Amino acid sequence: MGEDQRTARRWIDEVTFIEVKVVRLYEPLEGSDHPYKYSLALVVAGKYVLCYDNERGKGDHKHEGDVESTYAFTTLNQLFSDFKVDVARVLNNG
């Protein structure tokens, strides 16, 4: 699928974790302008409560609960930063 793939999972507590998957592709997915396939997810008690990802034909977007919105990808660093801010907000409001 791609040249380089990274996956990491970090547990926050007994039922909450963050999972990050990033694959560097040979060419961008349809709908994206960058060479990455990614999924950054916050999972609580087995339920995805926040997820940034991109899909072929759908492009970059994020899910928060049942709401899906577009995401303006600029760089991987900005993606991680935006996700981190949303994770903190969701966990502090939950």
How do the domains of the chain map onto residue ranges? Answer: 2-93
> Would you give per-residue pLDDT tens digits along the chain (94 residues)?
556 778 899 999 999 999 999 999 998 988 899 999 999 999 999 999 999 999 888 899 999 999 999 999 999 999 999 999 999 999 998 6
In terms of pTM, does the model score above 0.85? Answer: yes
Task: Provide the pLDDT for residue 56.
Answer: 87
Question: What whole-number distance in Å separates Cα of residue 19 and Cα of residue 38?
Answer: 11
Question: What whole-number distance in Å separates Cα of residue 26 and Cα of residue 35?
Answer: 7
Task: Provide the pLDDT for residue 93.
Answer: 86
Task: Provide the pLDDT for residue 6.
Answer: 83
